[in-house]
Structures are given as C-alpha cells and as structure tokens.
C-alpha cells in the first residue's frame, strides 16, 4: 500500500473542505448504497474518533460517503472531506482510508494528512476549499488523482436541492444548485441552459431570453475556488409518468461540457387526483356553514444544506423558548439570543446554547412567547447566496427544524396563522392594483386552506406547502414590511374563501394566458364544474404567450380587469363559475 502524505495549515476552529478524487482501477464497481457501499473512514486505529470531525460526518470516525451513486472500473469517484480544526494549536496527523463496507479496505486508498493548527494572526481563518493533488503511480484497485493542470473554465456540481423530484402534474418546481469554480478564471456570467434530450418542454424566464437560457446571473464575479448558488424553475408535465429534465451550466458564455444537471422527475399525480385526496381534518370543518378557527399552516421555507453549512442559527426578537417535538422546554432564551441547531445522519438533532453541543432524538422548535414575535434564520441571507436584493430570512411565529427520511433532507418549517402567512406572500407586489391584490389573496387563501384540509404531497415532509412556486411564493416578514398593502388586502378579505357546492373549491391560477384559459379537462383528467375556459381579451390584445398550466385564473388578465375598474369578487367569479365567497373564520 502506498501512503500518500499531504500538509495543510488551519487556524483554530477553521473549517477546510478537501476534495479527494480516486480512480477505480479494480474489477468491482463502487457504490454509494447497498451492503458493500464505499466510504472514507479514519485509519491507523479502528473506529478512531478524529478531533477534526464536523457535524457533516456520519460519526466521528466516518467522515464521508462516495459522492457518485456508482463508480465503474476506470471511472473516478469523489469524496468531500471536511475538517474543523481544534482550538488547541499544534501539529496533528490524520489518516483516512477507503472501505467497502462489510467487505474489505480498498488497497491504495489511504491518505495521510499533516495538519498544523496556528493562531489566527498567522493563519487567516476563512472557510476554504482545497483539492488533493498527487502524482504518485497507481496502486492495485485505486489511484489517488488530482488536477495539477487546471482548466481556465471548469466547474464541479457540489449541491443540488434534491436527487429526484416528486411532483404533481403542472406543478412549478424550483430547483437549486451549488456549483464550484474549479478553473483558473473568475466567472463574470453564470447561466443555466436547457439541454437537448429533455423529456419536457422548458420555457425561458423572460420573452427576451435566448431560447435555451433558463436563468442568468451577472452580479459580481465568482473567483476560482468559490461556490455559486443558482435557483431556477420549470413546470412538470400535465400527465403522470417518469421524466428526465436536463440542463447545462455555462460560465462567461461558454458551456462547461462536464457540468450537466440531470433531474429525474416523477409526476406522481395529475391535478385531478387532488380532487379526491383524503381529508386531514374533521369532515365538519369543511362545511362552509361551519365557522372554524383560523388555520395554522406549516410552510417549508428552507432546506438546511450546504447553503447554511448544514445548520440553522435562529433567534427571535422577543423572549422565546427552545422546545423539542413533544413540547418539552429545553431552554428559555432572551430576545435576539441565538441558538445553533442541526440534524446529524446518526439520527440525532443537536443544539448549542453556547455551552457545547447537546443531542436529542426529537426535532427542534423555536417558539416565541408572544404571537407578535418575529424569528430570524441568522445564517441564511439570500443577498449572499442567491444574489437577491433582500435577505428574506425573518418569519412570524414558530420555526421548526425537522428531517424527513422520505426525501433525505432537513427543512426549516414556519408554523404561522393563515392571515399572517398571506401578509408575507410574494405572489404580487406593492405596485399592483389593490383590487387585484384582494383577488389574488383570496384565491391564495383558498389554495392554502385546500392544502390544509387534505393530506397533500408534502405530508411526508411534515408541512402543507413550501415557499416557492411549487406551491405559492412566500417570503415572510421581510416582504410583509416592504409590501404593507398585501397585508391590508388580506385584512380586507379576512377569512374569505372560494367555495362550490358547500365545500372549499380548488382554485388553480397561473401567470398569463395566450388569449383564453383552459378547461380543467384540457390539461388534467376529469371535470371541474367551476373551472371552464373563458376568454382573456387583454392577454390576446397584448400578444401574450401562455406561461403556466393555463387552468383557472390568468394573473395578467385579472390585473387588466382590475385596472379597468372591476372589483375583486367580480374578477374571481369570472374565472371560477358558479362559486360562492364565504367567510370561513373571524
């Protein structure tokens, strides 16, 4: 076995991520899952607990799984080894090796690290990324390789919001990727482009964008070694089935051929299936004659991943408590006092009150003592990671961090009364017509109530809706403060929902039509009595093209009607025929 040595310098408490690339020159395919999955372990002593372990490790002796699902003979596999330096300065030696679980250590997979921890004035404490480089000759079964000749333009896909997507037919899906600049040239422009061979049609984000351009970012530059986060959206096909959505990444106008984004998509239900979805509340609460308490909705607002270093740092502006999922109070916190929390793949949640990590098997809730409180995810800022104009990291009422095994991801969930949720809704802005705001808020309230009443697709992730175009765009307290008329529109229509034949109606809506809306059955299976095709003369006169599924209310046509003097209730009744508008709660 060839021992390969590398040296790094870290400041006390500094985090460094090393990417290790191994070429499989054996006869057996490496896999990420299964009984004989391949991963990195500490070496030189079995189950040795490393002082450089971080919360991203599976445990203190097991730092990383293979990134790829499988690596065939002759292909290259990658591991991301994240190290956090101890506070004590000094020289440390760490050794790691490849293991095929339940089978054998893989010959040639050992690396040795010489790690020097120096004081901050000697070694600047920043989060960095490095790539292991070796020129040593291959050894049996594995070769440790690197990039001694870096290309001017190259990149590596490090993060994707999900490996596979399960969606409803016609659903708009937001997807996030994190791409590392592994070349020698800074990126001034970054693009996501549609690839050939897509199973679905992909539209551009604007009518002026090039045909294949999905999104582009020209704000600032991404230097060599830095990470760029990009979010884009696409619409699921209208029918059930399995699809493959394909994208490419381009930097400085050049497509990086090895940086592809393939998204397996399973359309698990047509929208028609929602009509018969099972109830999650008592039948009597659906009766429009029965006045109910204002619903508390649960909204997935953030996937806790590399964007926030796999942890959430939360504080609230008034006295609050940290609780577990059983309601047990773990600590009482003062205003603006922050707590670090995360989920570890060992099955435990951890929190740090400033006195070291404490573990619990239960998910964690950040609960204000008063209903007018606002909580903040301090280490989430869209201005920094998504190049947005605002941070949008504050939310009314309760936050919760919770892992779900169905999709193998951890969410921050905002638990909030319905009307407060609507006040932070980003489906329209301060500039739009006020009657249009009341129109949109009312059908958005109806959509949210419909999801609350039923066991929808998010039940496995413990919330009713997420905060993106998948369901309804929700931006929280920041947006509410910048757009106060949205909250007023919610107050002026408080509790009013769209109903048909004594039950909450399903109220789909979309961005713009091509001159008419579609019957429900034109896009999805079945018949919905209150959703029939209607003309959209404003959209037609303006030469608009269809953007969205086309069923229900066209937002651009509704805005035009409001600008022409139509009232909110009149607009709703135009798009949804034979409905009643009922006040469901006070």
- Boundary (domain end) residue, out of 123, 145, 167: 145
pLDDT at 86: 86
pLDDT at 243: 87
Radius of gyration of the chain (CA): 26
- Decide if pLDDT at 119 tops 80: no
pLDDT at 505: 93
pLDDT at 272: 59
What is the distance in angstroms between the CA of the first residue and the CA of the last residue of the chain?
74
Torsion of CA 468, 469, 475, 480, to 10 degrees: -160
Residue 316 domain-assigned?
no
Residue 183 domain-assigned?
yes
Residue 561 domain-assigned?
yes
Distance, in Å, from the CA atom of 189 to the CA atom of 409, rounded to the nearest integer, reads 30
Name the β-bridge partners of 300.
413, 466
**260 and 287 co-located in one domain:** no
**568 and 433 co-located in one domain:** yes
Largest CA distance in the chain: 80
pLDDT at 288: 56
Stretch 488-492: mean pLDDT: 97
Residue 141 domain-assigned?
yes
**533 and 431 co-located in one domain:** yes
pLDDT at 266: 80
**446 and 568 co-located in one domain:** yes
Q: Do 60 and 83 meet the contact criterion of CB atoms below 8 Å apart?
A: no
**134 and 165 co-located in one domain:** no
Percentage of the chain exceeding pLDDT 90: 45
3-state per-residue secondary structure call for 318-376: CCEEEEECCCCEEEEECCCCCEEEEEECCCEEEEECCCCEEEECCCEEEEECCCCCEEE
Higher pLDDT, 271 or 337: 337
pLDDT at 70: 87
The helix-helix angle for 484-492 and 434-453 (nearest 10°) equals 70
Grade residue 446 by pLDDT with cuts at 50, 70 and 90: very high
- Decide if pLDDT at 76 tops 60: yes
Stretch 54-79: mean pLDDT: 87
- Decide if pLDDT at 147 tops 70: no
Q: Which domain holds residue 197?
A: 155-269
**133 and 168 co-located in one domain:** no
Q: Does pTM top 0.85 for this prediction? A: no
Highest mean pLDDT among 45-49, 114-118, 316-320: 316-320
Distance, in Å, from the CA atom of 337 to the CA atom of 400, rounded to the nearest integer, reads 16
Grade residue 136 by pLDDT with cuts at 50, 70 and 90: very low
Higher pLDDT, 55 or 558: 558
Structure tokens at 314: 């939360």
pLDDT at 271: 61
pLDDT at 59: 84
- Decide if pLDDT at 206 tops 70: no
Residue 83 domain-assigned?
yes
Distance, in Å, from the CA atom of 487 to the CA atom of 482, rounded to the nearest integer, reads 10
Q: What is the pLDDT of residues 391-423, one digit of tens each?
A: 999 999 999 999 998 888 999 999 999 999 999
- Decide if pLDDT at 326 tops 70: yes
Nearest to 444 by CA among 421, 414, 415, 462: 421
- Decide if pLDDT at 540 tops 80: yes
Q: Do 545 and 515 meet the contact criterion of CB atoms below 8 Å apart?
A: no
Distance, in Å, from the CA atom of 52 to the CA atom of 43, rounded to the nearest integer, reads 13
Min mean pLDDT across 36-45, 146-155, 366-375, 536-545 is at: 146-155
pLDDT at 338: 95
- Boundary (domain end) residue, out of 124, 145, 166: 145
Residue 240 domain-assigned?
yes
Nearest to 179 by CA among 303, 306, 76: 306
3-state per-residue secondary structure call for 178-216: EEEECCCCCECCEEEEECCCCCCCCCCCCCCCCCCEEEE
Q: What is the pLDDT of residues 27-52, one digit of tens each?
A: 788 988 887 889 998 987 766 889 89
User: What are φ and ψ of residue 543, in 5° steps?
Assistant: 65, 30
Distance, in Å, from the CA atom of 38 to the CA atom of 18, rounded to the nearest integer, reads 18
pLDDT at 452: 92
- Boundary (domain end) residue, out of 85, 115, 145: 145
pLDDT at 145: 53
**118 and 232 co-located in one domain:** no
Distance, in Å, from the CA atom of 333 to the CA atom of 309, rounded to the nearest integer, reads 23
Cβ within 8 Å of residue 115, ≥6 positions away: 7, 8, 9, 10, 52, 83, 85, 91, 92, 93, 94
Distance, in Å, from the CA atom of 584 to the CA atom of 494, rounded to the nearest integer, reads 9
How far lies 210's CA from each of 213, 240, 486, in Å?
5, 29, 34
Nearest to 399 by CA among 342, 466, 322: 322
User: What are φ and ψ of residue 168, in 5° steps?
Assistant: -85, 155
pLDDT at 198: 73
- Decide if pLDDT at 212 tops 70: no
- Decide if pLDDT at 517 tops 50: yes
Number of domains in the chain: 3
Higher pLDDT, 315 or 290: 315
Min mean pLDDT across 23-32, 74-83, 206-215 is at: 206-215
**128 and 217 co-located in one domain:** no
**131 and 11 co-located in one domain:** yes
- Decide if pLDDT at 138 tops 50: no
Torsion of CA 247, 250, 256, 257, to 10 degrees: 30
**219 and 119 co-located in one domain:** no
How confident is the prediction for the chain on average, in pLDDT?
85
Structure tokens at 123: 């070694």
- Decide if pLDDT at 205 tops 60: no
Min mean pLDDT across 69-83, 166-180, 469-483 is at: 166-180
User: Residues in the chain, how many?
Assistant: 586
Residue 64 domain-assigned?
yes
Grade residue 149 by pLDDT with cuts at 50, 70 and 90: very low
Name the β-bridge partners of 348.
344
Handedness of CA 153, 158, 163, 168 (dihedral sign): negative
Nearest to 31 by CA among 66, 5, 62, 57: 66
* Domain harbouring 263, CATH code: 2.60.40.10
**469 and 571 co-located in one domain:** yes
Stretch 506-530: mean pLDDT: 91
Residue 224 domain-assigned?
yes
- Decide if pLDDT at 229 tops 50: yes
Distance, in Å, from the CA atom of 58 to the CA atom of 43, rounded to the nearest integer, reads 15
Distance, in Å, from the CA atom of 194 to the CA atom of 244, rounded to the nearest integer, reads 12
Stretch 303-321: mean pLDDT: 94
pLDDT at 286: 61
Q: Strands 227-235, 172-181: parallel, antiparallel or unpaired by DSSP?
A: antiparallel
Distance, in Å, from the CA atom of 223 to the CA atom of 218, rounded to the nearest integer, reads 13
**139 and 8 co-located in one domain:** yes
């Amino acid at each position: 076995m060839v021992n390969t040595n590398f040296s790094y310098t870290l400041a006390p408490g500094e985090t460094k991520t090393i990417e290790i690339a191994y070429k499989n020159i054996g006869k057996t395919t490496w896999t990420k899952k299964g009984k004989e999955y391949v991963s990195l372990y500490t070496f030189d002593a079995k189950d040795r607990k490393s002082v450089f372990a971080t919360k991203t490790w599976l445990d203190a002796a097991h730092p990383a799984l293979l990134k790829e699902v499988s690596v065939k003979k002759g292909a290259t596999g990658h591991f991301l080894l994240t190290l956090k330096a101890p506070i004590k300065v000094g020289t440390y030696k760490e050794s790691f090796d490849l293991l095929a679980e339940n089978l054998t250590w893989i010959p040639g997979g050992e690396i040795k690290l010489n790690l020097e921890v120096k004081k901050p004035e000697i070694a600047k404490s920043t989060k960095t990324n490095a790539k292991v480089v070796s020129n040593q000759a291959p050894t049996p079964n594995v070769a440790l390789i690197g990039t001694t000749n870096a290309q001017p333009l190259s990149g590596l896909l490090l993060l994707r919001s999900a490996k596979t997507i399960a969606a409803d037919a016609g659903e708009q899906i937001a997807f996030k990727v994190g791409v590392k600049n592994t070349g020698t040239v800074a990126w001034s422009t970054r693009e996501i482009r549609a690839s050939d061979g897509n199973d679905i049609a992909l539209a551009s984000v604007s009518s002026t964008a090039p045909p294949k351009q999905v999104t582009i970012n020209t704000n600032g530059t991404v230097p060599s070694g830095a990470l760029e986060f990009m979010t884009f959206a696409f619409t699921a096909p209208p029918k059930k089935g399995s699809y493959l959505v394909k994208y490419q990444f381009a930097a400085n106008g050049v497509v990086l051929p090895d940086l592809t984004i393939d998204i397996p998509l399973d359309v698990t239900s047509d929208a028609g299936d929602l009509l018969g979805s099972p109830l999650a509340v008592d039948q009597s609460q659906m009766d429009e004659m029965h006045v109910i308490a204002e619903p508390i909705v649960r909204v997935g607002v953030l996937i806790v991943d590399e964007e926030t270093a796999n942890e959430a740092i939360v504080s609230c502006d008034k006295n609050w408590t940290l609780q577990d999922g059983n309601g047990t109070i773990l600590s009482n916190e003062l205003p603006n006092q922050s707590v670090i929390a995360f989920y570890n793949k060992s099955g435990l949640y951890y929190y740090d009150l400033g006195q070291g990590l404490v573990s619990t098997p239960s998910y964690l809730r950040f609960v204000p003592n008063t209903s007018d409180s606002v909580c903040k995810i301090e280490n989430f800022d869209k201005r920094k990671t998504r190049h947005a104009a605002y941070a949008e990291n504050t939310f009314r009422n309760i936050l919760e961090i919770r892992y779900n095994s169905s999709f193998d991801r951890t969410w921050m969930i905002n638990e909030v009364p319905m009307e407060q949720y609507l006040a932070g809704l980003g489906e329209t802005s301060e500039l739009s017509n006020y009657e249009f705001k009341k129109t949109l808020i009312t059908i958005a309230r109806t959509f949210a109530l419909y999801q609350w009443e039923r066991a929808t697709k998010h039940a496995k992730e413990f919330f009713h809706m997420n905060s993106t175009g998948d369901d309804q765009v929700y931006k929280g307290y920041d947006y509410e403060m910048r757009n106060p008329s949205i909250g007023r529109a919610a107050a002026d229509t408080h509790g009013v929902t769209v109903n048909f034949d004594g039950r909450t109606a399903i109220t789909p809506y979309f961005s713009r039509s091509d001159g008419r809306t579609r019957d429900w059955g034109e896009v999805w299976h079945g018949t919905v009595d209150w959703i029939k095709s209607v003309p959209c003369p404003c959209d037609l006169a303006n030469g608009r093209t269809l953007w969205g599924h086309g069923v229900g209310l066209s937002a651009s046509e509704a805005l035009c009607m409001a600008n022409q003097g139509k009232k909110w209730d009149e607009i709703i009744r135009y798009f949804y025929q034979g409905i009643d508008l009922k006040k469901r709660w006070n």
